[in-house]
Homo-oligomer: A and B are copies of this chain.
Amino acid sequence: MERIPILKMGEFLLVTIQVDMHDQLALTLQDDLTARIVQHRSRGVLIDISALDMVDSFMGRMLGNIAGMASILDAQTVVVGMQPSVAITLVELGLSLPGVRTALNVEKGMELLTTSVRDAF
């Protein structure tokens, strides 16, 4: 499997990360995602990581990078579905995911995006 699918849901994009990321996959995802944000003029990106049992510093940096790139393209990023064990590990590792907002699940994340996109006007 060489790329992670990006699903368009209204004015937002949804990415479900199910596999361990390696360099090339992360780069491909960044390229695809930025291209899709521009193509669909998306205002928000939801990244679901509920399938991940652990998040290492590489993944943490990648999430931060994606949020940064999306932000420059005027789209907001919300990471959803983080497992409790992942949150514990992140704090223990000192990774605070700066610049990345989180929500409990896709529905809450979508509410958060809808509200903050509306407030942006």
State the A residues within 8 Å of B (CB): 1, 3-5, 7-10, 14, 16, 18-20, 48, 50-51, 81, 105-107
Task: Using A18-B16, A18-B18, A18-B19 as known contacts, say yes or no to A4 and B107 having CB atoms under 8 A apart.
Answer: no
Copies of this chain, how many? 2
Residues on B with beta carbons closer than 8 Å to the beta carbon of A50 = 5, 7
Residues on B with beta carbons closer than 8 Å to the beta carbon of A107 = 8-10
Return A14 CB to nearest CB of chain B, in Å: 8
Q: In whole angstroms, what is the CA distance A102 to B51 when docked?
A: 25
Residues on B with beta carbons closer than 8 Å to the beta carbon of A5 = 16, 18, 48, 50-51, 81
Residues on B with beta carbons closer than 8 Å to the beta carbon of A106 = 7-9, 14
Q: In whole angstroms, what is the CA distance A81 to B3 when docked?
A: 14
Between A and B, 20 residue pairs with Cβ closer than 8 Å are A1-B19, A4-B18, A4-B51, A5-B16, A5-B18, A5-B50, A5-B51, A5-B81, A7-B16, A7-B50, A7-B105, A7-B106, A8-B105, A8-B106, A8-B107, A9-B106, A9-B107, A18-B18, A18-B19, A19-B19
